Amino acid sequence: MAEVLVLVDHTAGEVRKATFELLTIARRLGEPSAVFVGEAADAAAAAGSLAAYGAEKVYVVSDPEVTAYLVAPQAEVLAQLVESASPVAVLIPSSPSGKEIAARLAVKTSSGVITDAVDVQPGGAGVETTQSVFAGSYTVKATVTKGTPIIAVKPNSAAPEEVSGAGTVEEVTVTLSDLAKSAKITEAKPKAASGRPELTEAAIVVSGGRGTAGDFGAVEAFADSLGAAVGASRAAVDAGWYPHSNQVGQTGKQVSPQLYVAAGISGAIQHRAGMQTSKTIVAVNKDEEAPIFELVDFGVVGDLFQVLPQATEAVNAAKG
């Protein structure tokens, strides 16, 4: 069976859940081959977990130069593997870097690229993808008509299935072009860990907006009672109340959790673009005319500083 390349997303060898989802999707299309870019010392642990989710091969690229420069080296690595392994598809996490790696790989290999896929199935001449577009108002199905399908897939697009693969490790040597080494990463300041799930991967997201007036305490406490990630509207981010990396919306993250709670968020199109496809939507807002109430399964017209603490207490009590 033909190989399907999966670019592994990991932190120091700890593989992110979204990668296991990609391996699961890859098995629909062929034999999953994981591509691990990182330190050799981290590769062994990663290879074990990748094999546990069906990776037949694990290509290990441990040349430190590959991660010393932005995006371009990883595209060259994948282009080299596309050349040598002739995969039926390449699956990449649909993060900013992932989409850019996909973009350059597409040009290098004269292949069609699709980003933000929420489903990938065998179909057409190879794969058929599903995307949600125009702020979630349309669902689009698309195919790649040239080259090797390069698909950037969003988190939560499949339920990861544990199935053991051979996980045969293959070291890959790469020769990078001068161009690939032209944008150097001179410093990387790690973000302080919040202890909460990652926004795009979380099953539940609780977001705060203008209505918090800068105090995210009630939003965070409610999120923690539900084991949720915390998001923020653009208004809250622009006001400097919460980091941009937590922004949900058109110019932030597009999330599609099982449950989305919008607290003190009016629901402008900018915000809706980032959360409209969530399965269940709940809102708390003082203004009964707020457009967010057009989307909700359950809404409370009230002060979030009254409603959220009461709800937090009730949820914590119910958990015992």
Partner 1 sequence: MNIVVCVKYVPDAQSDRTFTEDNTTDRVGVDGLLSEIDEYAVEEALKIVEAGEGEVTVVTMGPEQAADAIKKALQMGADKGVHIVDDALHGSDAAATSLVLAEAVKKIGTPDLVITGMSSTDGIMSVVPAMLAERLGLPQVTFASELTVDGSTVTARRDGDTASETIVASLPALVSVTDQINEPRYPSFKGIMAAKKKPVEEWALADLGVDASLVGLDAAWTRVESFTKRPPRAKGTIVADEGDGGTQLAAFLSAQKFV
Of residues 48-107, those binding partner 1 (CB under 8 A): 70-72, 75, 95-97, 99-104, 106-107
| One residue of 1, 64, 138, 289 binding partner 1 per CB under 8 A | 138
CB of residue 270 vs partner 1: minimum separation in angstroms? 8
Q: How buried is residue 221: exposed, middle or buried, by Cβ count under 10 Å (0-12/13-18/19+)?
A: middle
Q: What is the DSSP string of 247-300?
A: BBSTTSB----SEEEEES----HHHHHHHTT-SEEEEEES-TT-GGGGT-SEEE
Give the nearer residue to partner 1 in terms of CB position, either 23 or 261.
261
| One residue of 1, 64, 187, 195 binding partner 1 per CB under 8 A | 187
Residues 149-178 that bind partner 1 (CB under 8 A): none
Q: Is 299:281 a contact under the CB 8 Å cutoff?
A: no
Q: Which two tokens stand for residue 93?
A: 């996490």
Q: Which two tokens stand for residue 304?
A: 């979030």
CB of residue 171 vs partner 1: minimum separation in angstroms? 26
Give the nearer residue to partner 1 in terms of CB position, either 140 or 166.
140
Q: Is 69:46 a contact under the CB 8 Å cutoff?
A: no
| One residue of 139, 161, 168, 171 binding partner 1 per CB under 8 A | 139
| One residue of 84, 164, 168, 280 binding partner 1 per CB under 8 A | 280
Beta bridge partners of 9: none
Q: Which amino acid is at 30?
A: G
Q: Which two tokens stand for residue 82?
A: 């596309």
Residues 218-237 that bind partner 1 (CB under 8 A): 226
Phi first, then psi, for residue 42 (nearest 5°) are: -85, -15
CB of residue 56 vs partner 1: minimum separation in angstroms? 27
Cα 150 from Cα 81, distance rounded (Å):
13
Q: Is 192 a binder of partner 1 (CB under 8 A)?
A: no
Q: Is 14 a binder of partner 1 (CB under 8 A)?
A: no
Q: Is 310 a binder of partner 1 (CB under 8 A)?
A: yes
Q: Is 136 a binder of partner 1 (CB under 8 A)?
A: yes
